[in-house]
Structure 1
Amino acid sequence: MSNTEHALSPLSALAGPGGGRPGAFAGLLSRESGESLIDQIVRTVAARIDDKLLRSGARMPSIRQFAAANAVSCSTVVASYDRLVAKGFLESRRGAGFFVRERSPLNAGERSSGTDCEAARVEAAEARPLDVVWLIRNMFRQTPQQKAPGSGVLPAEWLDGAAIGNALRSIGSQHASLLLNYGAPQGFLPLRQQLQRKLAELEIAAAPSQIVTTVGVTQALDIVAREFTRPGDTIFVDDPAWYLMFGSFAALGAKVVGIPRLPNGPDIAQLAQLAAEHKPRLYVINSVLHNPTSTSLSAAKAFQVLRIAEEHGFAIVEDDIYCDLNPGSAVQPATRLASLDQLKRVIYLGGFSKTMAANLRVGFIAASPEWAQRLCDRKMLGTLTTSDIGERVVYKILSEGAYRKHADRIRTRLDTLRDKTVRRIEQLGMRVDAPPRAGLFAWVDTGVDTNVLTERALACGLLLAPGSLFSPNQLPSTRMRMNLPAIQEPSIWQFLEREIGAMRGA
């Protein structure tokens, strides 16, 4: 094979402290990835070293052993090892072979800071146990051929890449001057007009002037938090909830308080009690297809949440990123706070990363006229404008009518696998307290410490999402978010059965 071969091979040699041994690289190489085999080996070994799964001083398998175990040529292994030596991950010892090099923060690539004190902080951060940054870092380290049953998005093959490609080509053929200047501060006007129609279907009245585009819901949350809170203020979130918020809000100096989430919405008694105690400025909530449980807010709970918000004077931020995965029928009734409140006290967030493409990074905020202007001003202070190239792509796809059928196909496909996947989860002795009726997640009680399970999974090329990350207190948990479409491969089920069984029997 040549140095650019893409043969699928079980990269099965994982070096331990005492030398090469069979391990967790199996299945991480792909002939379809478009990435050379050498690049795949280098990236995968480097990631293992960064994650301390390959320890300093460990002896790598010999070139012949590595090549034979993975059905690749010796020249491929030589080139891979040489590149790892050049990058500072391995060292070559004449007559002895290749060994994992002692890594210091200053030779850890682009993470180095240039000062000893900062290097020590980097080293301490790298040594931390599982946290939000750990999950995000490893999520973006994943490549198409790796398996991420803990991810928050649909598998790429479920999405309509052809429609996005066609839209990009169409936009690229327009006059160049349309693509060279800043976008409008509030966002591409035709898209905001299209979003007005989309919101009207949800019974939310919002003029285009009340809509501000953002770089996904992530930036939308950051803009809202920066505008409405100051250091020391309290922000309520659901518990469990989307983990990225916790670190983002804490970095702004806010106090993050979790409200226990029940199958039909927040614990109202706790919400009322904690609101009286903390006087929050914001409450961020998924009304529809809550992340990570895929449950939705009942109408009765929605009215109670609005009542408490009015009584204690806080705004509600309704994150509806999974809007288009909800069938909107008797299967999964959807009560949106923004439709009841009509954007008086509720700030509504949406986007298309879950159903169109995460890489487009197109989200939006809908709010009262006054708040929309404030949020647009805050957006300009941070980024001036958003790029309207992605916004033009989203507009074209929405306006041409094919998106509705695409969303229907996704929901139908999810419906086909959801119940049988939950049954299989339960057959392995795990429990789903509130089996989802829509959406792509299940919130699973594994019966074991999912931080430990996640560490074992990473060593096998699997990225899980342990329950500890979904709570503001970050305590160890037996819960885990499972992405139902992403958990279908036999090797994932085999890992769960083997490792959970072993941990229970320990």
Structure 2
Amino acid sequence: MQTSNTLITRDSSGSLVEQIVRSVASRIDDKLLRTGARMPSIRQFADEQEVSRFTVVEAYDRLVAKGYLESRRGSGFFVRERASMMTNGNPVAQSTPPGQQLDVVWLVRNMFRQLPPQKMPGSGVLPHDWLDGELVANGLRSISRLNQNLLLHYGTPQGFLPLRQQLQLKLAELEIAAAPEQIVMTTGVTQALDLVAREFTQPGDTIFVDDPAWFLMFGSFAILGVKVVGIPRLHDGPDVAKLAELAAVHKPKLYIINSVMHNPTSTSLSAAKAFQVLKTAEEHDFMVIEDDIYCDMHPGTAVQPATRIAALDQLHRVIYLGGFSKTLAANLRVGFIATSHDMAIRLSDRKMLSTLTTTEIGERVVYKILSEGHYRKHVDRIRVKLDSVRDNITKRIENLGMKVDYRTPAGMFLWTDTGCNTNALTEKAMEQGFLLAPGSLFSPNQLPSTRMRINIAAMSDPGVWEFLEKEVGN
């Protein structure tokens, strides 16, 4: 294969290696370099492009790592066959294959196809431009200047101590008393839930969840062989009469609840309901797992009442979970468990047996952001931005004929009733490159539903509104 023109310019953006990688990858994507074609030798490429052989070696290695080239010992580098997964530079979201039903795995898989955020109104995270990448980057740069030996060893079993000390202060603001020894760092709330479920349940046991609730739990708990039972969620918390009734029948080991900024309704628990949940847990002897991942999107009790069950119980029967994936960066994967001292030791031991320790680099980044006072201002900006779009998006949704179950003054989600089967609606949307979140996935029974979760931060694409107008508009 001959490279008949120059692939790089000395005044172009990026290093010489990056320019070569971009140029060769582009030619392969555009079918200008065919599968199986032999690339110029390292010496030939270096001579033609007037660069060093070391530059070409690194560029070829990166292209191999990206799946564009393959290295054949003694023969050179060849263009590798690539699956057709790109359209106009963007990954293509796959529609549901014939015979495959929409399920939790389907939604999670498509969430990770990295569609543009504005094409994912069904996602559970804020778009990148709503977050502060520079804040995280500054934290990483600061960490990189530390003694390198600190970055090479395992972290400590319970997590980076200064961060746990900082979390002690953060929890105290919520009236939850937790010493650093009572806090265990995790790889997000997802791992926290898994550790707790494995600690307290055996196959055949029952776990209560809200209905609707965060869908990922259903699949992970099913793998453990436990039964998941939904407790109807109302505007101020669970239906406590139903909770008591079902607890008497099923004898659950755990009840997992979003007390504040519930996913997917954005409602929060009232003080009365928090007390009743705790009382029912004591009467029927089950643990309450309080998932407060959206904690910092709540503006405070002056705007919308909210009570943490852990503040009433002080971590005796309640295990409190939190994290920073929704407000800082999903890729940091920094979460935590706050519990009794004895339980913290048990969960830390269980964590070591499954994953050894969590990544201290991410924990150090979060510590820096929290300890230097940047985080509070950052979440204030997020709340202001959510407030600036919530009413307008709610009105537009209602003008289409859809109903919003709960008009809450905070949070990033709207729980809507479309009046049609949202499984079918989701499949149509996926064919047009939009990811929706059908209501069936948010209920343990997974039955077809007319409801759908909408992320108000991901509704800026006109195409989403055009689709909804066509499919559900009056």
- What TM-score comes out, normalization by structure 2 length? 0.81
Q: Distance in 1 between matches of 2:391 and 2:380?
A: 18
User: Could you tell me which amino acid in structure 2 is paired with residue 210 of structure 1?
Assistant: Q
CA shift at 1:85, angstroms?
A: 9.8
Judge conservation of contact 1:289–1:323 (CA < 8 Å) in 2: yes
Please say if 1:359 is aligned against 2:331: yes
User: Could you tell me which amino acid in structure 2 is paired with residue 315 of structure 1?
Assistant: M
What is aligned with 1:264?
A: 236
- Give the RMSD, CA atoms, in angstroms: 2.5
CA shift at 1:331, angstroms?
A: 1.6
What is aligned with 2:433?
A: 461
User: Could you tell me which amino acid in structure 1 is paired with residue 81 of structure 2?
Assistant: A
What is aligned with 2:145?
A: 173
SS of aligned partner of 2:452: strand
Structure 1 stretch 371-380 or stretch 177-186: which is displaced more? 371-380
What is aligned with 2:245?
A: 273
CA deviation profile, 1:150-185 (whole Å, cap 9, x unmatched): 000111001110011111011011111100000000
CA deviation profile, 1:337-364 (whole Å, cap 9, x unmatched): 0001100100000000010000000000
1:39 to 1:339, Cα distance in 2 relative to 1, 3 A: farther
Q: Distance in 2 between matches of 1:250 and 1:278?
A: 16
Please say if 1:298 is aligned against 2:252: no
Q: 1:86 aligns with which of 81, 88, 91?
A: 81
Judge conservation of contact 1:430–1:444 (CA < 8 Å) in 2: yes
Judge conservation of contact 2:207–2:254 (CA < 8 Å) in 1: yes
1:148 to 1:177, Cα distance in 2 relative to 1, 3 A: same
CA deviation profile, 1:241-293 (whole Å, cap 9, x unmatched): 00000010110010000001111111111100000000000000000000000
CA shift at 1:146, angstroms?
A: 6.2
Please say if 1:139 is aligned against 2:88: no
Q: Distance in 2 between matches of 1:217 and 1:129?
A: 27
Q: Distance in 1 between matches of 2:454 and 2:167?
A: 31
SS of aligned partner of 1:354: coil
Q: 1:242 aligns with which of 210, 214, 219?
A: 214
Judge conservation of contact 2:117–2:127 (CA < 8 Å) in 1: no
Q: 1:252 aligns with which of 212, 224, 237?
A: 224
SS of aligned partner of 1:86: coil
User: Could you tell me which amino acid in structure 2 is paired with residue 250 of structure 1?
Assistant: A
CA shift at 1:86, angstroms?
A: 2.9
Alignment of 1:90-489 (within 5 A): 127-144=99-116, 147-489=119-461
SS of aligned partner of 2:208: strand
What is aligned with 1:492?
A: 464
SS of aligned partner of 2:230: strand
CA shift at 1:329, angstroms?
A: 2.9
1:375 to 1:193, Cα distance in 2 relative to 1, 3 A: same
1:260 to 1:460, Cα distance in 2 relative to 1, 3 A: same
Q: Distance in 2 between matches of 1:220 and 1:133?
A: 19
Q: Distance in 2 between matches of 1:143 and 1:215?
A: 24
SS of aligned partner of 1:247: helix
User: Could you tell me which amino acid in structure 2 is paired with residue 261 of structure 1?
Assistant: R
Judge conservation of contact 1:3–1:38 (CA < 8 Å) in 2: no
Judge conservation of contact 2:244–2:280 (CA < 8 Å) in 1: yes
Q: Distance in 2 between matches of 1:246 and 1:84?
A: 42
CA deviation profile, 1:421-476 (whole Å, cap 9, x unmatched): 10110000000021121010000000011001100111111000000000000000
SS of aligned partner of 1:141: coil
Judge conservation of contact 1:450–1:466 (CA < 8 Å) in 2: yes
CA shift at 1:3, angstroms?
A: 13
Q: Distance in 2 between matches of 1:192 and 1:471?
A: 34
Structure 1 stretch 414-423 or stretch 181-190: which is displaced more? 414-423
CA shift at 1:370, angstroms?
A: 1.2
Judge conservation of contact 1:431–1:445 (CA < 8 Å) in 2: yes
Q: Distance in 1 between matches of 2:433 and 2:395?
A: 25
Q: Distance in 2 between matches of 1:480 and 1:425?
A: 12
- Residue identity (%): 69
Judge conservation of contact 1:379–1:385 (CA < 8 Å) in 2: yes
Instruction: Flag structure 2 segments of 5+ consecutive residues without an equivalent.
Output: 8-21, 32-67, 69-77, 86-95
Q: Distance in 2 between matches of 1:410 and 1:374?
A: 36
Q: Distance in 2 between matches of 1:184 and 1:442?
A: 39
User: Could you tell me which amino acid in structure 1 is paired with residue 309 of structure 2?
Assistant: L
SS of aligned partner of 1:182: coil
1:145 to 1:468, Cα distance in 2 relative to 1, 3 A: closer
CA shift at 1:402, angstroms?
A: 1.0
1:3 to 1:458, Cα distance in 2 relative to 1, 3 A: farther
User: Could you tell me which amino acid in structure 1 is paired with residue 364 of structure 2?
Assistant: R
Judge conservation of contact 1:146–1:461 (CA < 8 Å) in 2: no
1:482 to 1:222, Cα distance in 2 relative to 1, 3 A: same
User: Could you tell me which amino acid in structure 2 is paired with residue 318 of structure 1?
Assistant: E
1:40 to 1:275, Cα distance in 2 relative to 1, 3 A: farther
SS of aligned partner of 2:232: strand
CA deviation profile, 1:390-442 (whole Å, cap 9, x unmatched): 00000001101011001101101111111111011000000002112101000
Q: Distance in 2 between matches of 1:374 and 1:364?
A: 14
CA shift at 1:128, angstroms?
A: 1.9
Paired residues, number: 401
SS of aligned partner of 2:259: coil
User: Could you tell me which amino acid in structure 1 is paired with residue 165 of structure 2?
Assistant: Q
User: Could you tell me which amino acid in structure 1 is paired with residue 398 of structure 2?
Assistant: E
1:200 to 1:456, Cα distance in 2 relative to 1, 3 A: same
